[in-house]
Structure 1
Amino acid sequence: MRNLYAEIKRWLHYSINFEMSPLSCIEQHDNKAWQWLGRTSQIQLSNKGGLGLKGYYMLEVQISGLKQSVNASFYAGSDDVFSENDLFTLPITRIASGSKTVKRICYFDSAVHSFRFDPSEEEGGCENLSIKLIKLPRFRAKSLMLKKLVNKSFDTSTIYDAYNRLFSKINVGRYCDWIKQHEAVSSTEIAQRIDNLTVMPLISIVCPVYNTKLEWLVACVESVINQYYSHWELILIDDASPNKAHFDALKLYDDSDSRIKVIYLDENKHISAATNAGIEKAIGEYVLFLDHDDELSKNALLEICSVIAANPSAKVIYSDEDLISECGERVTPHFKSDWNAELLRAHNYITHLCCYDMVLVKSLGGMRLGYEGAQDYDLILRASMVIDSKDIHHISKILYHWRMVEGSTALSSSAKSYATEAGLKALRDYIANNGLAASVAHSDRENFYTIKYSLPSVLPKVSVVIPTRDGMEVLRPCIESLLSVTDYKNYEVIILDNGSEEKETLRYLDRLSKKENFKIVRDNGQFNYSRINNIAVGHSTGEFICLLNNDIKVIDKTWLAEMVSIAIREEVGCVGAKLLYPDGTLQHAGVILGLGGYAAHSHRGLGGNAPGYFCRAQVRQQLSAVTGACLLIKRDIYREVGGLDETFQVAYNDVDFCLRVQALGYQNIYTPFARLIHHESKTRGWDNDPVKIKRFDREKVLLATRWGGVIQNDPFYNVNLTRSREDFSI
C-alpha cells in the first residue's frame, strides 16, 4: 500500500529536468557558465521523456552568479516555432551573490512538446543555470495561486489570468544607460544651484530603525551625509533593536555629526510610534521620511529645496523612485504622474520620496497607530483632504532608492501582508471622511484596491449618442449588444444618421425609431464628427451624455453603471472606458498627450488583461483626455464648454474637448471597469487620401497651437518616459 501511495505521489508530482544547449546568441563555458549576447539570446530545452505536457506545472529556474537582473522568457509550444501565446514571463531580480530559485506556475491548455528559454533582453550572464518543470494537480495549483492573490473570490477559470498578471517585466538594461545619460552633473552646476537658492529651510529626516543589517544602515545614513544640500538633521529612532552591531553604528554616528540625533526607545513600538517619536524631536520646517535600508540620491534635498524656493506654499513634495538590489543594482524606475487623487485611491503611487510641511504633519497628529505597514499611505490620504492640490508638487527625478531585501515590500508586496490590510483600512477611512457613498475592497494585486461607487436610488437618465452612416455590420452588433448586455436601465438612444443610403440600413433605422427611448435624427451634411454629435446632443433629454461610436460592441453589463457612478461626482468631467480590439488586445486605456508629437492612446496593443506600467492599465486614474469613442459627461458640462469644437472635423476633437473640460477645473477619469470592444473607424475608413491627410495635418496644427504647453508636458505622464511609443518605456 505504501508503494502504491509513493507511485501515485510520484505520478502527481513528477518533474522534467531539461537538458540545455545554446540556440542563438548565447555561449556556454565549461558546461556551467552562460554568456548571453543580447535580445535574441536563446537556450533550447530538451525533454528526454518526449511526452507532451498538458495542465499545470511549476517552472523552477535555479540560477547563480547572475550578473544583473533580467526579464527571462520561457516558451512552451507544440512545435519549435513559438508565438507570444506560448510565452511565460519570469522576471529574475539579482538580489545578492550566490544561488537563487525563481518559480512560477505555467498552464498548458493543450499538449506541448517544444521548449525554449530566453534568459534576457540585454547582454549578461550567470555561473550556473538549471531549469525544470514539476507537475501540479489542479487543486494544488489553485491553492498556490490563491496564496499569491489578495482577492480570493475568483472562479477557477479566472484565477490563472489574475495570477499570470503578477509577472510583470522589470526595467533593466536600458535603465542603466538612462542613468548615465540623465544623472551626470558637474560640481560647478551643483554649487551654482545652491548659491541661487532663495531659501534654505532645515529639513528633518526621520528614520526609524530596527535590527537593520549593518551595511544597509551605513548606506542609508551615508546617503544623507553625502547630500549636496547640507542644512538637514537626521533623526534615527532605534525601536528597541537587540542587534549589537546596529547599536554601535548608531552611537558612532550620534557622536560624529551634530546633525545626527539618535533616539533609543525602551520597548519595541513599531514604525508608527517610532516615527512619531522622531517627529516630536524634529525642529525642521519640513520633514522627510526615510526607511532604514533605503538610500537617497545625492541631489534629493537640493531638489526639494528648489521646489520650496519656487513654491513657498508647498505642503507636500514627492519624487520618482527606483528599486535597488542588495548588490547595489538599480532597477525598475517608477516615473510617476503629477498629483493624481484618483490613482491614489487605487494604490499608494506616492510612496517615496515624500516630504511634508512640518506644521501640516503635526496638525494631522503624525502617523496613526494601528495603520503600521501603510502608515505613509494613511498620511498622504489624510493630508490630501486638508490641503489644496496646488500645494502638492511632484519632482520628475529619481531621488529615492528603495532596497529590495527579504521582508521588504520593494521585493514583494506579499512580504508584509498586514500592510495591504492596513492600506484597506486607511482607504476606507478616507472614503468615509470624504462622505462618499462607496465600498472598498482588495484588488487581485497586493496593496491595490478597488472602490465601487454607489448609484442614487433614482438613476439619472443617460442619452447614448451614436453617429452612423450605413455600416450595418457594426451598427447592428452595437445596438443589439447595447440592448441585450447593458444592465443600466434609464437611458435613451439618439442615432444621428449622417446620410445612410443602403436600404438595409434605412429599414433597420426605421424599425429602431419605433422603439421606446430611441430617436433617429437625420443629417445629410458633410461628415464632421463634432458637428453631428452636437446636433444629436441637441435632440437628447438625458442628464448625462454618452458619446458612443457605432463600431463599439458592449461586452460588460455594468459598463454604463460604472461610468455613471464616476461621472456623477461633482469634480468629475469626462469619463472614458477601457476599449479592446476584437482580438482582445488593448485599444484605449486613456489618452496621453505628447505621444507621437500630439496625443495617442495609453498602452495600445498591450494584452487586454495585462497590468501595464505599474498597473496603470488596470486602475482608475485621472488623465488629461479620453477617447470620444466611448465618453460620458454631464449634460451641463457639455453645454458649459460649448460641446465639441466643429473646427476639429475628424481628428483630435475629443482631445480638445477633454482639455477644455479640464481647463474649467474638472477631472477627466479613465476606468478599466467599463470594458467594450472597438473596431475603430470601421464605417468612416482611414485618413489615407490626400484630402483627408491635409485635413488631418490641419487639425494637428490646430491642436498644437491651442494646447502646445500641456502637450509638451502631460501632468499625468512623465517627462522621462518615451514620446515615440505607447508603452510607458524610457
Structure 2
Amino acid sequence: MPSKCQPTGGRIVTSAARSRLYLLVLGRLPRPHDGGEGTPPDQLIVDLLGSREFAVSTAEPLLDGCYDAPIDLCDPDLQSWAEQTFSLETAPQQPRLTVLARVLGSQMVATHRIRAEAPWSAGALSHALQSFAGEAPLAERDLDPLQIFARVADGIEILDLAGITTGDATGGVRLAATGGSVLFRLSQAGPSAFCRLDLGMAIDGGEGSASLAVDYGDGFSDAHVLRLAPRGRRRYPVFLAAPDRIRHVRWELTAPGQLARPLLLKARPLSRNAVENTLRPIVGARATGWLDDHTLPTLRPGDPEAQAFRLSRRLSRDLGGHVNGERGYEDWLAWTAGSHAAARHDPSGRSPGFDLMMRVEPSQLSSARATLASLRCQTYPFWTVKVVLIGACPDEAVGSLASVIEDCERVTLLHRPPNSTWAAAFNLALAGATGDWLACLLPGDLLAADALAEVAAHLGGNPDLRFVYADHDRLDAEGLRKDPTFKPDFSPEALLGFDYVERPAFMRVDDVRAVGGWREVAAEGVGYDLTLRITSRLAPAAIGHLSRVLLHAGCGTDAVHGTPGLATILREHLARTRVEMRVDPVPGVGLHLRHRPTRPAPTVSLIVPTRDRADLLGLCVRSIITHTAYDDYEVIVVNNDSREPETQELFESWRSDPRIRVVDQPGPFNFALLNNRAVDLCHGEVVGLINNDVEINSPDWLTDMALWALHPGIGCVGSKLLFPDRRVQHGGVIVGVGGVAAHSHKFSEGDAIGYGRRLALVHNVSAVTAACLLIRRSLYEAVGGLDESLPVLFNDVDFCLKVDAAGYRNIVCPFHPLIHHESSSRGRDVTAAQLARLRTETEIMTRKWGNRLHRDPYYSPNLTRIHENFDYNWI
C-alpha cells in the first residue's frame, strides 16, 4: 500500500520512514547582471529550506528563474518548519512564488499547485500543505496517458502518443521496449519570433535519452532533430526560432521498460527582445548583432527552415545547455556543418595558381595516394602537384600515384637518390614551379575539398597578402578527425616559441625563391626555418590567417617541438635579425626565450596602490624585496586613505628602506588615477603595475619581464598568475569572452601547458591584467595612461587595447608564475552600487572599442565566447 499523509491536530505525520517534499520556486529572480538587487536564486533556496531538521540538497538550476530543491523529511512538524523558514521571505522585491509540492513515500501520493500573489505567511503555507497532505491518491481510472501528459502541459496541443502506456497508481507511464514519443503542436506560437519549450520527464532506474524532431511542413527529417543530453531528472529547455513555421513537434524518449513520470511540457512565445536580453549576459553588447549574424529566418533570404533549425539548435545549446551536450569535436563538426558558405571561383577575376609539393619515401606510397585522392576532390581548378620520390620505388606503385588523379597532367613525378634531404627534395620541386603560390604537404595529409577555393577567395579579397595559413586537425588510425588546432592570427612572439603555423601554409613562389628556398637544417625544422625567414621579411598586414580547418594531418605526421635542432634554427634566425636572446629547448613543448641582461640594467618602478589590508600589502612588498634578483628597482606604494593602525605601522617600518616610497593619494578609490599619479612621480624607464594582493616567488621574474618590455615592438608584458591553490588565475586576457574580457585558462592546473602551449611559452595577447603589468614609461605616457573614467574594471584592458592600436604587441611571459590572492582587498561586485558601476564601465568599453571586442586576433572564432576554457564555439 502506498504511504499516505494525514493531518493530525495541526501536524502532518507521515507513516513512511522517509519521505520527500519538492519545492519548485518559479518566477524570474533578480540576477546580478540585470542590475537588480535581491538574493541570488540558489541562495534563496538555501535560505528558505535551510532548517536543521532537513538535509537540503544543493539547489539545482532547472529553468529560467526556476530552481529545484529536494528536502528529506523525517516525520517533522511542518507548521513549525513553515514558521521558521518561510518567515525569511518578507522582502517586497521577492517575486511571486509558485510551489509545486510532491510528498513521496514508496510511491507518489498526490500533486497540488499553490499560488501566492504576495510573500508567503507561515500560516498560509502550513494550511496549504495540510490540505495537500489530505488529498486522496490518484485513482486507477484517472491514469489515462493523455490525461497524465495534459496535467503538465501548457501552451501546446497533444495530438498523439506512441509507445506509451498507463503505468500504475503513482501517476507514471511506461515506455514501450522501443521507447515512446509525444506528438504535439504549439498552440500559442502566433507571430512571435521565438518560442521556449520546456520538457521534463523523470525516469526511474534507467538512464534513457531523448530527442526533439521538428516538422516545418514537409514532414519530419533527420536533418531537423535536436539530441537532448541527459541532465538531472531529464528536464530540457529548448529555444525554437520562427515557431509560426513549425507544424508539428515530436518528443522522442528512449528508456525501454522503464517507469516514467512526465514533469513538464510547456511552450511560451518569446519576442526578439526577450531573446536578446537572455543572450546579453552571455555575449554582452553583441546580443543584437548576434541574432543577425546567425541567420534569423525573418531577416535573411535562402532556406528559412534550415536557418530556423540552425538558429534553434545554437540558441538551445548555449541558452539551455541541454542540446548535443557531449561537446566532442565530432559533434562540433556536425553542429557547424553548413555554417560556412562554400567559396566559389570567380572566372572574371584573377585566379592564382597553386603548386603543391610532397616528398615521398618508398614506405609512404600508400599515404601519398590518399593525399592525391584528396586533391582530386578540389573544387578549385588551378593547381598542380609535384611529387618528389626518394630512392627506388616499384614502377607499378609509382604509376599508381599519377593514376589517382584522372588528369595526369596535373601530376609531376620527380626522382631523387636515397637519403635525399627534405631541403633538396623541395628545392627540386621549386625549380619547376609555375604557379603563383606554393604549399608543402606530407604523405597522408588530406586537403578539405574546398581548401584551395577558400584560399583563392581569401587572396582575392586581400590582394596584399603574401603568406597565408589555415587551421588543421589530425586523423587517427581509423581515419577519424580529431585534435583540431585553432590558430591565432599572426603572432610573432608565439612563432619564436614553436611552429604554430605548421600546415597548411601558402607562400608566394617569388618570396620563397628570394630567400633561397629551403635550407639544409634539421629535418623536423625545415618548414619552420622557411616560415621564419619569409615572415621576418613581411609586414604583419601581408600575413593572413583563415580560421577554417582546411587540412587533416595524416596519422604519424605530428609536429615535433622543443628539439635541439629547432633551437639551432631559432638561434640562427635571431642572429640574422640581430636579436640578443638565449634559446633553451623545452622537450615536447617548444623553445624558451630569455633576453640577455644588459648593463646597466634600466630602473624599474613598481607601483602598488593600496587602502589598508596590511596583511596583503606586507606580504606583497616583502616578497618583492626578498625574492627579486633584479639590480635596479623601486617600489612606490600609493596610499589611498588607509586608516588602520596596522597599515600605518607598516608604512613606518619602510622609512629606512631606500627601495620603498609611500606616497599619499586621497579620495575615492580609482585604480587608474592612483597609477597615473604614481607614474608622474616614478624614476624608472620601465613601470610595473602590481596589485597589493600579488605575491612574488621567483628571483628572475622582473629580469625577464623588464627586458621583454624593452624589446622593440613590445608594449605591455604580463605574467602568468596562479591562485594560492596553484590553479591558473590569469594566462592573458581574451577580449570579447563574457561580454568585454576574461582571463584565459582560468582554473586550469598550474603546470598545464595550455591551449596552443600558451601557459608554457611567451605568446601574444590582446591584453593582460594590471595585477602584474610592465611597460616602458614613455609608451605608458604616449597612450595617455589608464583611463580614469574606468576607476575599477577594464582600465587595464582598455590600456592594453590602446597600446595595441598604437602598433605595439602585448605578450604574456609565463616562465615565472606569481601568486595572486585575487580581489582579496577589493571583494566581489555584489552591491547595487558595484553592479551599477559594472554596467557603466561595460557601456564605456562597448562604446569605445565596438567591434574590437568581438574579434580577438589572438583567439580563434572557433572557440567559445562564453567561458575561458577554450571549448568549442557553439554559437
Structure 2 length-normalised TM: 0.61
State yes or no: 1:218 paired with 2:369. yes
User: Secondary structure of 2:471's match?
Assistant: strand
Name which of 179, 193, 202 aligns with 2:353.
Answer: 202
Q: Give the % identical residues.
A: 33
Number of the residue aligned with 1:184: 338
Q: How does 1:160-559 map to 2 (within 5 A)?
A: 174-184=328-338, 190=342, 193-195=344-346, 198-243=349-394, 246-253=397-404, 256-405=407-556, 408-409=557-558, 413=560, 420-445=563-588, 448-559=590-701
| Residues 230-239 or 339-348, more deviating | 230-239
The change in CA–CA distance for 1:261 and 1:198 in structure 2 (over 3 A counts) is same
Tell me, in whole angstroms, the C-alpha distance in 1 between the residues paired with 2:673 and 2:536: 40
Tell me, in whole angstroms, the C-alpha distance in 2 between the residues paired with 1:25 and 1:620: 46
Query: What's the offset of the Cα at 1:268?
Result: 3.7
The change in CA–CA distance for 1:596 and 1:343 in structure 2 (over 3 A counts) is same
Tell me, in whole angstroms, the C-alpha distance in 2 between the residues paired with 1:396 and 1:501: 53
Structure 1, residues 606-662: CA drift from partner, whole Å, max 9, x if none? Answer: 011111113211111111100000000000001101110000010000000000011
User: In 1, are the aligned partners of 2:563 and 2:588 still within 8 Å (CA)?
Assistant: no
User: Secondary structure of 1:720's match?
Assistant: coil
User: In 1, are the aligned partners of 2:443 and 2:554 still within 8 Å (CA)?
Assistant: no
User: In 1, are the aligned partners of 2:361 and 2:390 still within 8 Å (CA)?
Assistant: yes
Q: Please report the RMSD computed on the Cα atoms of aligned residues, expressed in angstroms.
A: 2.3
Query: What's the offset of the Cα at 1:185?
Result: 7.2
User: In 2, are the aligned partners of 1:211 and 1:246 still within 8 Å (CA)?
Assistant: no
Name which of 561, 583, 593 aligns with 2:703.
Answer: 561
Residue 671 of structure 2 aligns with an amino acid whose one-letter code is Y
Number of the residue aligned with 2:319: none
User: In 2, are the aligned partners of 1:612 and 1:727 still within 8 Å (CA)?
Assistant: no
Structure 1, residues 665-684: CA drift from partner, whole Å, max 9, x if none? Answer: 01111010132111112112
Structure 1, residues 342-366: CA drift from partner, whole Å, max 9, x if none? Answer: 0011100000100001100111111
Tell me, in whole angstroms, the C-alpha distance in 1 between the residues paired with 2:671 and 2:752: 32
- Whose RCO is larger (CA < 8 A, sep 6+)? 1
User: In 2, are the aligned partners of 1:371 and 1:378 still within 8 Å (CA)?
Assistant: no
Query: What's the offset of the Cα at 1:396?
Result: 0.1
Number of the residue aligned with 1:593: 735
Structure 1, residues 299-349: CA drift from partner, whole Å, max 9, x if none? Answer: 110111112111212111000000012311000000000000100111000
User: In 2, are the aligned partners of 1:212 and 1:292 still within 8 Å (CA)?
Assistant: no
Tell me, in whole angstroms, the C-alpha distance in 1 between the residues paired with 2:700 and 2:339: 52
| Residues 595-604 or 198-207, more deviating | 198-207
User: Secondary structure of 2:725's match?
Assistant: coil
Query: What's the offset of the Cα at 1:39?
Result: 10
Number of the residue aligned with 1:637: 779
The change in CA–CA distance for 1:690 and 1:185 in structure 2 (over 3 A counts) is closer
Q: How does 1:704-723 map to 2 (within 5 A)?
A: 704-723=846-865
Runs of 5+ in structure 2 lacking a partner? 1-205, 209-227, 232-325
User: In 2, are the aligned partners of 1:337 and 1:716 still within 8 Å (CA)?
Assistant: yes
Q: How many pairs are equivalent?
A: 556
Number of the residue aligned with 2:820: 678
User: In 1, are the aligned partners of 2:623 and 2:697 still within 8 Å (CA)?
Assistant: yes
User: Secondary structure of 1:555's match?
Assistant: coil
Number of the residue aligned with 1:647: 789
User: In 2, are the aligned partners of 1:662 and 1:668 still within 8 Å (CA)?
Assistant: yes
User: In 1, are the aligned partners of 2:380 and 2:452 still within 8 Å (CA)?
Assistant: yes
Number of the residue aligned with 2:313: none
Query: What's the offset of the Cα at 1:255?
Result: 8.0
Query: What's the offset of the Cα at 1:267?
Result: 4.0
Query: What's the offset of the Cα at 1:252?
Result: 3.0
Residue 498 of structure 2 aligns with an amino acid whose one-letter code is H
Number of the residue aligned with 1:658: 800
The change in CA–CA distance for 1:259 and 1:495 in structure 2 (over 3 A counts) is same
Query: What's the offset of the Cα at 1:25?
Result: 7.8
User: Secondary structure of 2:563's match?
Assistant: helix
User: In 2, are the aligned partners of 1:239 and 1:270 still within 8 Å (CA)?
Assistant: no
Query: What's the offset of the Cα at 1:173?
Result: 6.2
Tell me, in whole angstroms, the C-alpha distance in 2 between the residues paired with 1:586 and 1:217: 43
Number of the residue aligned with 1:582: 724
Query: What's the offset of the Cα at 1:705?
Result: 1.5
Structure index of larger Rg: 2
Query: What's the offset of the Cα at 1:431?
Result: 1.0
Tell me, in whole angstroms, the C-alpha distance in 1 between the residues paired with 2:229 and 2:834: 42
Tell me, in whole angstroms, the C-alpha distance in 2 between the residues paired with 1:518 and 1:424: 40
Query: What's the offset of the Cα at 1:243?
Result: 4.7
Tell me, in whole angstroms, the C-alpha distance in 2 between the residues paired with 1:173 and 1:236: 39
Q: How does 1:15-30 map to 2 (within 5 A)?
A: none
Tell me, in whole angstroms, the C-alpha distance in 1 between the residues paired with 2:396 and 2:673: 74
Query: What's the offset of the Cα at 1:215?
Result: 3.8
Tell me, in whole angstroms, the C-alpha distance in 2 between the residues paired with 1:285 and 1:699: 49
Tell me, in whole angstroms, the C-alpha distance in 1 between the residues paired with 2:229 and 2:838: 40
Tell me, in whole angstroms, the C-alpha distance in 1 between the residues paired with 2:756 and 2:538: 26
Number of the residue aligned with 2:748: 606
The change in CA–CA distance for 1:225 and 1:457 in structure 2 (over 3 A counts) is same
User: Secondary structure of 2:484's match?
Assistant: strand
Question: Which 4+ stretches in 1 moved above 4 angstroms?
Answer: 37-40, 253-256
Q: How does 1:111-122 map to 2 (within 5 A)?
A: none
Tell me, in whole angstroms, the C-alpha distance in 2 between the residues paired with 1:216 and 1:498: 67
User: Secondary structure of 1:467's match?
Assistant: strand
User: In 2, are the aligned partners of 1:495 and 1:520 still within 8 Å (CA)?
Assistant: yes
User: In 2, are the aligned partners of 1:323 and 1:404 still within 8 Å (CA)?
Assistant: yes
User: Secondary structure of 1:441's match?
Assistant: strand
Tell me, in whole angstroms, the C-alpha distance in 2 between the residues paired with 1:38 and 1:440: 48
User: In 1, are the aligned partners of 2:723 and 2:821 still within 8 Å (CA)?
Assistant: yes
User: In 1, are the aligned partners of 2:563 and 2:587 still within 8 Å (CA)?
Assistant: no
User: In 2, are the aligned partners of 1:618 and 1:672 still within 8 Å (CA)?
Assistant: yes
Query: What's the offset of the Cα at 1:196?
Result: 7.3
Query: What's the offset of the Cα at 1:369?
Result: 1.4
Tell me, in whole angstroms, the C-alpha distance in 1 between the residues paired with 2:674 and 2:207: 56
Tell me, in whole angstroms, the C-alpha distance in 2 between the residues paired with 1:643 and 1:703: 16
User: In 1, are the aligned partners of 2:521 and 2:569 still within 8 Å (CA)?
Assistant: no
